[in-house]
Structure 1
Amino acid sequence: MDKVVATAAEAVADIPNGVTIAVGGFGLVGVPEILINALLEQGATDLETVSNNCGTDGFGLGVLLEKGRIRRTISSYVGSNKEFARQYLSGELEVELTPQGTLAERLRAGGAGIPAFFTPAGVGTQVEEGGLPLRYDGKGGIAVASPPKETREFDGETYVMERGIVADYALVHAWKGDRHGNLVYRTSARNFNPPAATSGRITIAQVEHLVEPGELDPNEIHTAGIHVQRVVHVGPVTVGIENRTVRS
Structure 2
Amino acid sequence: MENTFNKIVSLEQAMDYFHDGMTILFGGFGGIGSPPTIIDGIIEKGIKELTLIGNDTGFPHIGIGKVVSKGRAKKVIASHIGSNPIAGQLMTDGQLEVEFSPQGILAERIRAGGVGLAGILSDIGMDNEIVTENKQRVKVNKKEYLIETALTGDISIIYAKKADPYGNLIYDKSARNTNPLVAMAGNMTIAEVEEIVPLGELEADEIITPGVFVDFIVPSKGVNWKWAWE
Q: TM-score scaled to structure 2, two decimals?
A: 0.90
How much does 1:34 deviate? Answer: 1.2
1:220–1:235 CA distance, 2 compared to 1 (3 A): farther
Amino acid at match of 1:60: G
Please provide the CA RMSD for this pair. Answer: 1.6
Q: What residue number does 1:204 align with?
A: 190
3-state SS of 2:42 partner = helix
* 2:161 corresponds to 1:175: yes
Q: What residue number does 2:121 align with?
A: 118
* 2:43 corresponds to 1:43: no
Amino acid at match of 1:152: V
3-state SS of 1:110 partner = helix
1:236–1:28 CA distance, 2 compared to 1 (3 A): farther
* 2:147 corresponds to 1:161: yes
Among all aligned residue pairs of Structure 1 and Structure 2, give the percentage whose two residues are the same amino acid: 37
3-state SS of 1:37 partner = helix
How much does 1:122 deviate? Answer: 2.3
CA distance in 1 between partners of 2:125 and 2:163 (Å): 37
Superposed, 1:125-140 pairs within 5 Å as 125-130=128-133
Give the unaligned 5+ runs of structure 2: 224-230
Residue of structure 2 aligned with 1:3, choices 7, 16, 19: 7
Deviates more, 1:114-123 or 1:76-85: 114-123
CA distance in 2 between partners of 1:14 and 1:193 (Å): 20
How much does 1:236 deviate? Answer: 7.9
CA distance in 1 between partners of 2:97 and 2:119 (Å): 22
Q: What residue number does 1:222 align with?
A: 208
* 2:181 corresponds to 1:192: no
Amino acid at match of 1:2: N
3-state SS of 1:36 partner = helix
How much does 1:9 deviate? Answer: 2.9
3-state SS of 1:85 partner = helix
Q: What residue number does 1:89 align with?
A: 92
Superposed, 1:74-85 pairs within 5 Å as 74-85=77-88
Deviates more, 1:214-223 or 1:85-94: 214-223
Query: Do the aligned residues in 2 keep the contact of 1:209 with 1:235 (CA within 8 Å)?
Result: no
Give the unaligned 5+ runs of structure 1: 131-146, 238-248
Q: What residue number does 2:27 align with?
A: 24
How much does 1:8 deviate? Answer: 2.1
How much does 1:156 deviate? Answer: 4.3
CA distance in 1 between partners of 2:208 and 2:222 (Å): 19
CA distance in 1 between partners of 2:103 and 2:82 (Å): 13
CA distance in 1 between partners of 2:41 and 2:221 (Å): 15
Q: What residue number does 1:99 align with?
A: 102
Q: What residue number does 1:240 align with?
A: none
